[in-house]
Chains A and B, each alone.
Chain A
Amino acid sequence: MKRPGLTYERRKALTGFLFTLPFVIGAITFFLRPFINTLLYSFSTLEFQENSVKMSMAGFQNYIDAFVGNSEFLPAFLNALTDMLYEVPFILVFSLGIAVVLSSDFHGRTFFRAAFFLPVIISSGQVAAAVEGSATAALSGDQSVMMFQALSMEPMLISLGMSEGLISTIMGVVNNIFELTWKSGVQILVFIAGLKGIPGYLYEVTELEGANKWETFWLVTFRMISPMIIVNVVYTVVDSFSDAGNPVMKHISKLTQNLDIELGSAMASIYFITVFIIVAFVFWLLSRKTFSYSE
């Protein structure tokens, strides 16, 4: 192991680098190169030749095409954004609530944990997309309306005198509730891990000081869990964007199958940059307010 001519620090640095070397090679070959290529494709026109691809610069033409020339992209894109706007808060609140309940002690905890983690096991692929689809279909009255009478809710709301727009929003959430609960598996998991990390003496202090449960939640639990909220917001945003059932993703993969690679890449880049901006913004917004031991 001894290398003449290397100081202790340099040897350590070299060891560290060697540990990460496989990842560096892999990330450059299988991630960074395709990533940069995608950006390049989006600025060029491709011509397929027998054994290679010829690229020529096209400036922002593909981007203009994506927004102006393509009638499907913009609505799908906006749709994905608005979906995200109500999905992310719902998933966060839901998973935090479930995590708080599941991390306390009560009878049957094991069973409920298993039930709520089950989506983590299943919800990452075709089955999940299909399962959500079938559940939503069953709910919205495709075949088995009798299983859950969600349809009878609408007349009820109308008879209560609610406005049309409000009813459609409520029904939208109700009909998507499967999808949303199924998307919260990993978030529940992260929150539980975070809750377990809160030192118990903080709760004892609040109890001695006479705080009630509600105050304890906001003063201790919420404050201490805030770093995990960032993690979960980022995860949820990325997850909802990279979901293969997402309309934009569907559109991009359809373009790709038709070998319309430049336009697909341009859309992918727009999409990716948007995600990046949102994530960066969320990160910036929340990281100033979250708790951390070190700073």
Chain B
Amino acid sequence: MKEMHRIPSKLRFCVFLTSSKSKFWSARCLPKTAQKPQKGMVIKMRSLLFHTDAETRRQNTKKRANLIGKRLGGIYRMLMLICLSVVTLFPVLYMFSVAFRPSEQLSDPTVVWIPKSLTLYNFKRLLDVFDYPLAMLNTTKITLVSTFCTLVSCSLAGYGLARYKFKGKALLFGLVVLMIIVPPQNILISSYVGFKYFDFFGIGQLVGLFTGEPLTYSLLGKEISMYLPAALGAGIRSGLFILIFSRFFSNLPKELEDAAAIDGCNPLKTYVRVVIPAAVPVFVIVSLLCVVWYWNDYYFTNTFMRSSMTLAGQLPQLKAKIDVTIHNISSGAAIDNDLLTALTQAAYIIVIGPLVILYVFLQRYFTESIERSGIVG
């Protein structure tokens, strides 16, 4: 290794050329980190190029300068990363800093980041307006069931689009892209109408032809209004998931599936036994994103299930609730803005807390999966 460095860079290339003739010395394993070249060869090369002392010294200073430059670059990168991660972490730090301090300290100019005393008072008051156990249970249930449904439907659709040729496939791809591009809020009104007069995929209309009145059923206010779209590949950001799945599946080697088919598996069995085990990373990513997006969703839950209690769904009404319950706004009491801020931050902590804990545990696996899945293949 040492000797390798002493060779001037031009010559290093010659070493590469001569040595690359042997099969083991492919371009892949040569520069810098390369194994030691055979000693005889190096000596021969050196004798070819009258390697003087002055030259060695120059090489050494250059090497040292390179090393210093590398160190400085590392320090610079570290500083930049620290600054930027402070920016990303700032809201979270702020959240923790505010939620655990007595609200009076918010307007105390001597307290900036680190509170003088810690308290759980904010959380206790918060539980007066927030039915946490129930909301937690509801959210967990909706999130898990919807995620499972999404995984099944989107992976099936992605697999079908990636592996089979059939008429209208291009049209379906267009539909997927359209689903990604159209913001769901834009079509919310007519989705709402559709949920209110749900006609069982048109069957209700057919019945209506005979009985005179179309058979409809209101899905509003029921949890099925979240599950049904998810199970049919039209839930929150399903289009994106289908695209991710199909990209991944089309990069999988086909041989395994062919082998399974020859061994007598039907397509569905092949899918369950062979394809799913090979696609674990992409399933991890999609399920994590899906859990996150369902957990944080308040738009759909609040529109389609007004009465139901979810964690994120309660946040928009939080201020009003605090005003009524804690500040007794009807009795004309003054609103304590500091307390409101502290309670709001505490509420954010208990809403995203479970997600953050989940993330901390799965973080390593998550980032690894992203690398292995080749989301964008």
Contacts and interface: CB of A to CB of B under 8 A. Distances in A.
B217 interface: no
B293 A124 contact: yes
Nearest to B288: A121
Contact of A27 (B84, B233, B299): B233
B344 A130 contact: yes
Contact of A121 (B160, B352, B371): B352
A118 B374 contact: no
Contacts, number: 285
Residue of A20, A143, A264 with most partner-chain B CB within 10 A: A20
Interface in B338-370: 341, 344-345, 348, 351-352, 355-356, 359-360, 363-364, 366-367, 370
A228 to B, nearest CB: 5
Nearest to A13: B166
Contacts of A37: 187, 190, 193-194
A216 interface: no
Contact of A131 (B228, B232, B299, B348): B348
B63 interface: no
B81 interface: yes
Given A127-B315, A272-B182, A27 B234 contact: yes
Interface string B11-28: 001001000000000011
Interface string B239-279: 00010000000000000000000000011000100000000
Contacts of B87: 177-178, 181
A98 B81 CA distance: 8
A38 B85 CA distance: 42
A224 to B, nearest CB: 12
A268 B371 contact: no
Contact of B88 (A181, A208, A271): A181
B156 interface: yes
Contact of B156 (A19, A146, A208, A242): A19
A125 B316 CA distance: 10
B37 interface: no
Nearest to A259: B189
B67 to A, nearest CB: 15
Nearest to A128: B296
B296 A124 contact: yes
A23 interface: yes
A249 B165 CA distance: 39
B186 A268 contact: yes
Given A115-B85, A131-B91, A125 B296 contact: yes
B127 interface: no
B191 interface: yes
B84 A20 contact: no
A168 interface: no
A127 B190 contact: no
Interface stretch (A69-77, A154-162, A197-205): A197-205
Interface residues of B, number: 101
Nearest to B246: A20
A16 B315 contact: no
A197 B95 CA distance: 37
Interface residues of chain A: helix, strand, loop or mixed (majority)? helix
Contact of B189 (A30, A41, A122, A125): A41
Nearest to A33: B194
A89 interface: no
Interface string A91-124: 0000000100100001010101111111111101
B377 interface: yes
B370 A189 contact: yes
Interface string A249-283: 10011001000010011001101100110010000
17 contacts: A12-B165, A19-B267, A20-B161, A26-B228, A30-B194, A122-B92, A124-B293, A125-B296, A131-B348, A135-B90, A135-B91, A146-B109, A182-B88, A192-B371, A238-B183, A242-B184, A271-B186
Interface of B: 13, 16, 27-28, 30-31, 74, 77-78, 80-81, 84-85, 87-92, 94-95, 106-107, 109, 112-113, 153-154, 156-157, 159-161, 163-167, 169, 172, 175, 178-191, 193-194, 197, 201, 228-229, 231-234, 238, 242, 266-267, 271, 289, 292-293, 296-299, 312, 315-316, 341, 344-345, 348, 351-352, 355-356, 359-360, 363-364, 366-367, 370-371, 373-377
Given A135-B91, A242-B183, 11 more contacts: A1-B266, A23-B242, A31-B182, A34-B190, A35-B187, A101-B77, A131-B91, A134-B341, A244-B299, A265-B190, A272-B181
